[in-house]
Structure 1
Amino acid sequence: MPQAAAFRRSPAQVMRLDRMGCSHPTRLSFLRQLLRRIEAEGWMFDRPVWDMDARGVGRAVYRMRTPGGSLSLVAFGHDLPADQRSDRVIATAWDATFALFDGTPDAADLDRLAANVPLQEAGRVTPRELSLSRANRSVRLFNHVVERLATGQQPDERMLRETGYLMRTTAVYGSGKFGAADRAMIAGRPALSAPFQAEMLSVWLTRAFTIDLVEHLARARGGDRAVRLRPDLRRGLGVGNSTGLGMAPFLVRHPVLLNNWMMAREEALARVRAQETADAATLAGFHTALAAAVQNATDWQSAHPIQQTKLGDLQGGLARLETFVATEWDTAAAHPWDTLWRWAQAHLPMEAQEALLAAMLEPHGDLIDGLGGCMQADEEAHFGIDGTMPVSDLRAILQEHYDWAIHTDYSDPAHCARFWYISEEKLEPRLGERRTEDGANRELPLDTGRQAAALWHALRDEADDTPVARLLLVHPEHRLITRRAQIAARHPFAEIRDNLIAADMLPIDLLRCKLAFFGATRFDPRSDRWVRISLFQDAPYPGDLHREDAP
């Protein structure tokens, strides 16, 4: 079999924002990795605490017993007045708040969490907590489901499909925020070593809480008439999420991690394309995945013009793909998957190409799932700058990995129209307009293209054998981009190959790329700076895998 590397896409093709902004979740996405581990290791689920009143106010505990110990989602329900409900990160009250607890909380733990978790940023948690989160009801649909179930009826299926969730989280904090456990404290634990496993577990258990809550409220209202939500309708509901600019710079600030995510996905695609044959079971799995992609594209709704255009590309592209697969694709010929991919590159828009990538990976779990273990990163190991590197080598790195940036004229206002900064109010990243807003003097160093161009010009008069250390002694302002360049030389997918301060840059492309690695679906931008998504739609619930009665 040919080496998979021969089939790998180049970083120049993959690491552009227009393609990153067409990303789809795959079986390597973090929530899929979590669910596979839960199933493979036989994690046991129970709900040892459910103390909710008829208004949905109270507390609950959802526990997963893992080979490495228990993990518990502590949930608090609140009676939130309508005028206080907001998806904005500056909100101060929510319908529900949560903490993922390391172990099984006792009464003292629950009282401590009850005094802090509902306050979110204004409270404080401890390293016993692995994440802190909050969620709001999708009010119209949530109330509709409660009313229908209370009268013994099932909710409207069309309404459920169009929205896809009953609650949406507005933040899921981890990695040391507000006193929670730092990433380093849990990275060595197999259950949590893959990226964002604690956060994904928190959201998955939040989904279970949401269904329990609507059924509880229906029983409180309807008594014996009330019914449970039909299993197929439950399965089709996920957890919504509203995500804004605070998440966008993550991919820039973690170049080695980004490289490992992208490299794993690209290696997976290359391995599939390198297969010399396609057996009947794998082809059947692909057809099932393609049908699911078509159904998802049909159900996917958005009012944003950018996303509406992408949805048109997706739906039209998948229709062409279905026709090709049914009438022209020769699955008996050599390298059928590569043939399919090459046809897609020539005939489909990027949105449909990336959907095809996910469908092609889906039936190849035995071939690619092990790559999930390569998606974490020890970024400190790559932080040091090699001061002995000669300028000639650094110049060559810039030519190879930053050719998209080093010849751009950043004095042109269109190429430096924006600046990234930290909001004083929320201490989170924001994006300003350089010509009309104050704050450029506090700009974050996320302008990687402009930094690369400045370094390129600084090297013009340097002798080839000049050590990088000597250059940086005179020009310390180039330390950051020199470090990034040396990282990029060893990690080819580490750098986003686009100008992140350009007038036409779309932050939602950054958001979609990261969220697709989480496993998000139904991307619905509300502007070019924030997006709603759904997580865990069509996934099993904790009780569907392994269940243990509460003690």
Structure 2
Amino acid sequence: MTTSAAIKSSLRGSNALPLRPIDQVMDLERLGAMHQSRLSFMRILVRHVMRERWQIVMSTMSLDNEGYGTVIYEIQTPHDLFSFVIFSDYLSPDERNDRVIASKWDLTMALVGGKVSQAYLEMLRKNVPKQEAGRVDSRVFVLSRANRSARNFDYVVDQLAAGGQPDIDKIAKVGYLYRTTAVYGSGKLGMADWEKVSTRWPDFARPFSAEMFACFMLRNFSLFQAEHIAKMRSPATFNPMQADIKRYFGIGNSTGLGMAPYLMNHPMLINQWVEMRELALARVRQLGLYNEDAKEKLNRLIYRVQHHMSETHTEDEWQSQNNVIVLKDLALLSQRLESKLDNWNSLILWSEETCSLQGQELLVSLLLELHPELVDSLESHHGSDEFLDLDPVMPVQTLKQVIENRYAWALKIDFSESGSRDIFWYRSEEKMEPRLGQAATEKGKDKQMALGVGYAVRKCYDQLCDYIKIFPNHSTARFMVTKPKLRGIVRRIQSMNRCVYGDIQANLLDKNVLPMHLLRAKLAFFGVSKFDPRSKLWVRNTMFQGAPLLEDIGGSFNDDWFMPLAPKKGGNV
């Protein structure tokens, strides 16, 4: 048994837990119906920050009265010292652009290993504000940038300066002061690569933990900066923001098609994320205690989620309809809890017969929330070696069986049908972002990104069947000699056959493909909330809303900021 297999076996326990079927779990629409959970990366990060009592202090504060200048936070973790460096610069309204092609931002940031000397700070000052146009070294883990919310930032500063507080109803519509437009890590632009980070810095050895920490720090700085400007503007009347209102502010994010290629190009990693979530659910279904106390906790969570969704504002009709459907599902769930239930498994089975996909997957998140003792131990097992290995000695007959068993979904698709190959994916040189092209009317299909996994499997299978008719006893190696262009897809097929879940089951070349499902899936793993699609190609969302503040570190913590609610006017929730 391999080390990875041994770990997974120990996580499941002596008796194999009943995991949901591959065809059910890896369906694209279901993946796009997921919600944040205890195993989302933001939740995992905050648990470590709070329980390990990271010491985060502002070691350098060099902001002028308008909030422009430099700030450095020093972060002492259980293992190392890190620095978070922020450059705040004036940005005229006509220069403000949230697109990847922007060249200036209100804030630019870097997460750095160790203490920052004056000489190193000057190097960062010359490069970090340039983002993609600059270069840094391997002491840097993360680069990011952010712009102020046009609707909230100045309004909040004005309110605090005048001695008031932000209006809760107004904040509920846009729950952040800044929105990040990109977060870079894993070796880009000269930064430390993932292998170095994951092996040498245990505090950030979980996927995307350094990137999530940068957003967490941005959120806290945004609150500090707003108060600083308000205080400098009117010291006599300035009123600090109430703590409960502070916690309700998150960080805004706009996510486009850039996330879609990641999901398809890292199948081993996505499989691992899905497997941990499914393993957590399996534990709850089999071992979770169902009693009156648990039922009462679930009812309170349902109430919270209902109000959270009612506070989620979107102009998108598709998302609005989804929210309405989920609210109906939650009402049915509350009614169901009034009847006799034997265990959580029966509730899951009921939801699969009664609720929408969104409702079903929300129930999964709710049940994980009830059982931290069964779920949280899985938080350190989201990493995976991203190697797709070719097995040259595998008989071609075995390879054929693997395709028929693991990729039956791809073989069911009729790629000769009209519309089944109308879309191709490419990276725009002008915008530096992934785009969808129409195969019939647009040029550039020869430069398309290899995201049509289902179609690639179909082509491989057809050529393999023809080969087997002539050489039924050959190995995969000999097949590869005659079909070298198929090496990549064969490597993927064989590698994913060793996974529990494997590839996302969708034809991304179909004219009706909805990329939003891909975006939602990855964002749910990150832990974002309040999805607000602006088209079928990009979505606004909020990060860390309701999370603890830096000043909360060292106090009591019970990890209870799932689907946060707006604070009540005149007091805490």
Separation in structure 1 between the aligned mates of residue 540 and residue 15 of structure 2, nearest angstrom: 36
1:133 pairs with 2:144: yes
Deviation at 1:6, TM superposition (A): 5.0
1:23 maps to which of 34, 42, 49: 34
1:149 pairs with 2:160: yes
Deviation at 1:39, TM superposition (A): 2.3
Deviation at 1:227, TM superposition (A): 0.8
Aligned to 2:182: 171
Are 2:389 and 2:495, in contact at CA under 8 Å, matched by a contact in 1? no
1:387 pairs with 2:396: no
**1:245 alignment partner, SS class:** coil
Are 2:288 and 2:371, in contact at CA under 8 Å, matched by a contact in 1? no
Q: Does 290-299 or 437-446 show the bigger shift? A: 290-299
Separation in structure 2 between the aligned mates of residue 67 and residue 242 of structure 1, nearest angstrom: 33
Separation in structure 1 between the aligned mates of residue 61 and residue 340 of structure 2, nearest angstrom: 54
Are 1:45 and 1:543, in contact at CA under 8 Å, matched by a contact in 2? no
Q: Does 393-402 or 531-540 show the bigger shift? A: 393-402
Q: Does 139-148 or 2-11 show the bigger shift? A: 2-11
Aligned to 2:134: 123
**1:324 alignment partner, SS class:** helix
- What is the correspondence of 1:282-293 to structure 2 with a 5 Å cutoff? 282-293=294-305
1:494 pairs with 2:502: yes
Deviation at 1:408, TM superposition (A): 2.5
Separation in structure 2 between the aligned mates of residue 318 and residue 280 of structure 1, nearest angstrom: 19
Separation in structure 1 between the aligned mates of residue 362 and residue 71 of structure 2, nearest angstrom: 38
Separation in structure 1 between the aligned mates of residue 236 and residue 496 of structure 2, nearest angstrom: 63
**1:242 alignment partner, SS class:** strand
Separation in structure 1 between the aligned mates of residue 58 and residue 15 of structure 2, nearest angstrom: 45
Are 1:406 and 1:453, in contact at CA under 8 Å, matched by a contact in 2? yes
Q: CA-to-partner distance for each residue in 1:115-138, whole Å, 9 max, x for gaps?
A: 111111111111111000011111
Aligned to 2:411: 406
Separation in structure 1 between the aligned mates of residue 340 and residue 176 of structure 2, nearest angstrom: 37
Deviation at 1:467, TM superposition (A): 0.6
Aligned to 1:260: 272
Are 2:273 and 2:382, in contact at CA under 8 Å, matched by a contact in 1? yes
**2:465 alignment partner, SS class:** coil
Deviation at 1:384, TM superposition (A): 2.1
**2:509 alignment partner, SS class:** coil
Q: Does 411-420 or 524-533 show the bigger shift? A: 411-420
1:419 maps to which of 416, 424, 427: 424
**2:235 alignment partner, SS class:** helix
In structure 2, list runs of 5 or more residues that go unmatched.
Answer: 1-11, 556-573
In structure 1, list runs of 5 or more residues that go unmatched.
Answer: none
Aligned to 1:505: 513
Q: CA-to-partner distance for each residue in 1:220-252, whole Å, 9 max, x for gaps?
A: 222120111111111111101111111211111
Aligned to 1:530: 538
Separation in structure 2 between the aligned mates of residue 103 and residue 225 of structure 1, nearest angstrom: 39
Aligned to 1:445: 450
Aligned to 1:477: 485
Separation in structure 1 between the aligned mates of residue 340 and residue 269 of structure 2, nearest angstrom: 36
Separation in structure 1 between the aligned mates of residue 103 and residue 262 of structure 2, nearest angstrom: 24
Aligned to 1:70: 81
2:354 maps to which of 336, 347, 356: 347
Separation in structure 1 between the aligned mates of residue 202 and residue 502 of structure 2, nearest angstrom: 25
Q: Go from structure 1 to structure 2 and tell me whether the alpha carbon gap of 1:360 and 1:4 turns closer, same or farther (over 3 Å shift).
A: farther
Q: CA-to-partner distance for each residue in 1:188-230, whole Å, 9 max, x for gaps?
A: 2321111001101100000010000110111122212011111
Q: CA-to-partner distance for each residue in 1:516-547, whole Å, 9 max, x for gaps?
A: 11111111111111111111111101221139
Q: Does 219-228 or 459-468 show the bigger shift? A: 459-468
* Percentage of pairs with the same residue: 39
**1:223 alignment partner, SS class:** coil
Q: Go from structure 1 to structure 2 and tell me whether the alpha carbon gap of 1:398 and 1:338 turns closer, same or farther (over 3 Å shift).
A: same
Opposite residue 309 of structure 1, the aligned amino acid is Q
Are 1:4 and 1:271, in contact at CA under 8 Å, matched by a contact in 2? no
Q: Go from structure 1 to structure 2 and tell me whether the alpha carbon gap of 1:350 and 1:48 turns closer, same or farther (over 3 Å shift).
A: same
Opposite residue 159 of structure 1, the aligned amino acid is K
2:261 maps to which of 231, 236, 249: 249
**1:97 alignment partner, SS class:** strand
Are 2:100 and 2:433, in contact at CA under 8 Å, matched by a contact in 1? no
Are 1:4 and 1:274, in contact at CA under 8 Å, matched by a contact in 2? no
**1:133 alignment partner, SS class:** strand
**2:426 alignment partner, SS class:** strand
Aligned to 2:5: none
Separation in structure 2 between the aligned mates of residue 418 and residue 57 of structure 1, nearest angstrom: 45
**2:122 alignment partner, SS class:** helix
1:81 maps to which of 92, 95, 108: 92
Q: Does 442-451 or 272-281 show the bigger shift? A: 272-281
Are 1:4 and 1:270, in contact at CA under 8 Å, matched by a contact in 2? no
- Could you say what the CA RMSD is over the residues aligned between the two structures, in angstroms? 1.7
Q: Go from structure 1 to structure 2 and tell me whether the alpha carbon gap of 1:40 and 1:329 turns closer, same or farther (over 3 Å shift).
A: same
Aligned to 1:107: 118
Q: CA-to-partner distance for each residue in 1:50-81, whole Å, 9 max, x for gaps?
A: 11112221011122201221122111112111
2:251 maps to which of 239, 242, 246: 239
Are 2:33 and 2:517, in contact at CA under 8 Å, matched by a contact in 1? yes
Aligned to 2:216: 204
TM-score (norm 2): 0.91
Are 2:100 and 2:432, in contact at CA under 8 Å, matched by a contact in 1? no
2:524 maps to which of 502, 512, 516: 516
Are 2:389 and 2:492, in contact at CA under 8 Å, matched by a contact in 1? no
Deviation at 1:305, TM superposition (A): 2.1
Separation in structure 2 between the aligned mates of residue 512 and residue 429 of structure 1, nearest angstrom: 17
1:92 pairs with 2:92: no
Are 2:299 and 2:334, in contact at CA under 8 Å, matched by a contact in 1? no
Aligned to 2:565: none
Opposite residue 510 of structure 1, the aligned amino acid is L
Are 1:168 and 1:242, in contact at CA under 8 Å, matched by a contact in 2? yes
Separation in structure 1 between the aligned mates of residue 298 and residue 486 of structure 2, nearest angstrom: 48
Q: Go from structure 1 to structure 2 and tell me whether the alpha carbon gap of 1:468 and 1:60 turns closer, same or farther (over 3 Å shift).
A: same
**2:109 alignment partner, SS class:** strand
Are 2:309 and 2:323, in contact at CA under 8 Å, matched by a contact in 1? yes
**1:369 alignment partner, SS class:** helix
Deviation at 1:412, TM superposition (A): 3.1
Deviation at 1:4, TM superposition (A): 7.2
- Residues matched between the structures, number: 540
2:371 maps to which of 364, 367, 382: 364
1:54 pairs with 2:65: yes
Q: Go from structure 1 to structure 2 and tell me whether the alpha carbon gap of 1:347 and 1:542 turns closer, same or farther (over 3 Å shift).
A: same
TM-score (norm 1): 0.95
Separation in structure 2 between the aligned mates of residue 354 and residue 371 of structure 1, nearest angstrom: 19
Deviation at 1:498, TM superposition (A): 0.7
Separation in structure 2 between the aligned mates of residue 81 and residue 65 of structure 1, nearest angstrom: 36
Opposite residue 11 of structure 1, the aligned amino acid is I
